Amino acid sequence: MSVSAYTCAFCGTAGSGEALSCAACGSPVDVQRAVSMSGWEELAAIPDLARLQVGRSTCQIEGALAPVADFTLAPEDSLYFAHHVLLWMDTEVRLEILPLTGFRRFLAGMPVAMTLARGPGRVAFSHDEPGELVALPLHPGQSVDVREHVLVAATGDVTYDFIDTNVSFSTLGGEKSSTEYPVGYLLDRFTAGERPGLVLAHGAGNVFTRRLGEHESLLIHPSALLFKDASVAMHLHVEYPAGGGFSGMNAYLWLRVYGPGRVGVRSAYGHSRSLNPTGFHSDWTERRVDSSTPWYFVRDGQQHGPTSLDYIQGMTLVNRLPSDTPIWAEGLPGWMPVNSIALCKSCGVERPMVKTKWRPVGTKEWIWTILLLPICFPFTIIGLLFSVRRCSVCRVIGR
């Protein structure tokens, strides 16, 4: 029986299809891909004792609860890892320190050095948490961003860098309030050079992946993000539930990710502390859950929509749309640049607020302003001082 050529559904590596699992990432060949109704693909666990080929070295995965990655290194191959994941090694394997630059890593509490293991010999790694091993083969030039502290090992010719997550918020708790980095302070970025490489990460619990299309967005729990393609952009998003009021005490905090590219989440994640909605935070978008206003926007001369205002605002946050993208919704006099639109905090529902230059307003507006001062205070004052935004529905001048 001839075996047809096979392309791995997870990592895209072409194989002969003769083995039971993909030689690059260990994903089983003979199983139906398990895709949930919502589009998440359950990472098919690497079968027990499956072998991955990494250059001339091999890696065997052992166990299912807290799996072990057992590498047989060829003489010219090397691996780097954070020292605490080493489980055992042969006596002939040589270890060296791979110093990393970056004082910020030190500040962020991340390892300032990696350990390098040089072949020949066997060396094995595991994480002290139940979960799954995710093998991310990198084609030449490909990059992947991985949450800090989840790296198991990477092949020696994969370059290692880190990027700011730019995702943070301040927490509740009065004097004990602190800045929380739900995705970590830095993300590890791995890039393959001219040769393919392998990054092995550990996801606590089960791991699910999803491939987002261009301009597709998704909200995920910030602490659940395990890895993403470098092309995926992200920012914080806050959702105020209906009836929760604008105090924000019941706000849901999300990480909004934008395609194109893969996103991987883990099902066991640490909980971050509660958000202080009036405190400092990285750039975010906001939404009332009861918002239903359909919005339209223009990209490349074409009208798109209906969608939500925060989606368009988020696209400008991550530079996928220019900040003066024309948008429109029912109630607006015409197409307005997105940066002139905000939420009305007086109506209780999402309404377009049109920012205008300061200009003298009529007596009626002044009376309304003074009457509504207690409701919109202090936004009215700030608004009057700098610019005026007026709700297209309730006509209230706000921030």
Partner 1 sequence: MERLRCDWCESTNPTDANSCRSCGAPLHDAARVSDSGWREAPRIRDMTEIQFGQSALRVEGEIVPVAEIALVAGDSVFFEHHVLLWKDDAVPLSIMALQGGMKRAFAGMPFVISVAHGPGRIAFSRDATGEVVVLPLHPGMEVDAREHAFLLASHQVEYSFVRIQGLRNILFGGQGMFLDRFMAPREPGVLMLHGYGNVLERRLGPGESILLEPGALLYKDAAVTMNVEAVPGLATGLFGGVGMNLVRMTGPGRVGIQSMYVHHETE
Binding site residues, partner 1, CB under 8 A: 48-49, 51, 58, 60, 62-68, 70, 72, 83-84, 86-91, 95-97, 99, 112-113, 115, 122, 124, 126-130
DSSP 120-178: SEEEEE--SSSEEEEEEEE-TT-EEEEETT-EEEEETTEEEEEEE----EEBSSGGG--
Per-residue burial over 26-63, b = 16 or more CB atoms within 10 Å of its CB, e = otherwise:
bbbbeeeeeeeeeebbebbbbbeebbbbbbebbbbbbe
Q: Give the nearest distance from C-beta 202 to partner 1 in angstroms.
A: 11
Complex with partner 1: residue 58 or 387, whichever CB lies closer: 58
Q: How far is CA 136 from CA 147, 158, 200, 223, in A?
A: 13, 12, 6, 20
Complex with partner 1: residue 133 or 224, whichever CB lies closer: 133
Complex with partner 1: residue 74 or 113, whichever CB lies closer: 113
Q: Give the nearest distance from C-beta 93 to partner 1 in angstroms.
A: 8
Strands 284-288 and 233-240, sheet pairing? parallel
Q: Give the nearest distance from C-beta 108 to partner 1 in angstroms.
A: 17
At 344, list the tokens.
Answer: 């009305």
Q: Whole-angstrom Cα distance, residue 54 to residue 357? A: 61
Complex with partner 1: residue 14 or 49, whichever CB lies closer: 49
**DSSP category for residue 270:** P
Q: Give the nearest distance from C-beta 96 to partner 1 in angstroms.
A: 7
Complex with partner 1: residue 113 or 394, whichever CB lies closer: 113
At 381, list the tokens.
Answer: 């004052």
Complex with partner 1: residue 72 or 325, whichever CB lies closer: 72
Q: Give the nearest distance from C-beta 116 to partner 1 in angstroms.
A: 10
Q: Give the nearest distance from C-beta 130 to partner 1 in angstroms.
A: 4
285 DSSP β-pair partners: 237
